[in-house]
Amino acid sequence: MLKTGKDYLERLRDGRTVYIGRERVNDVTPPPAFAQAARSFAAFFDMKADPARREDMSYEEDGDRHSLYYLKARSKDDLARRSTAHRLLAEANYGLLGRSPDYVSSFITGMSLKPDFFGAYADNVVVTITY
């Protein structure tokens, strides 16, 4: 299921322990040290949830829409769709966030297409995590 930027920001307000210098921060979204980064990442989620960008940023499976980060590219067209989504995210921040939220998700999704490559750790690559 696709999250919005608002969903993302709300999840940051989960009681995590964060300090700026010696001051404990209960909500990381307003302090200047984190606010713009949090809003930038929230904008990624809003891009994916935007109906006008639906085909560029998400795909449908089993009746739900998912981020293209999780599309297992099994064809040249699938790979092109994933590449388009990554390019759009990079363009949205002028390439300044080299490790945007798509990085790890997309990386693991790619690894899951060939789990045998990881030998004894193959099961770790394909395990389904639910929250």
* Whether 44 contacts 37, CB under 8 Å: no
Q: What is the DSSP string of 89-116?
A: HHHHTTT--TT-THHHHHHHHHHTTSGG
Q: Find out whether 123 and 112 touch, Cβ atoms under 8 Å.
A: no
Contact 68, 57 (CB under 8 A): yes
Tens of pLDDT along the chain (131 residues)? 789 999 999 999 998 899 999 999 989 999 999 999 899 999 999 999 999 999 999 999 999 999 998 999 999 999 999 999 989 988 988 888 767 777 788 888 888 889 999 999 998 888 765 54
Tokens representing residue 30 in the block: 């307003």
Among 113, 45, 125, 37, CA closest to 85: 45
- The model's pTM: 0.79
Q: What is the CATH number of domain 5-126?
A: 1.10.3140.10
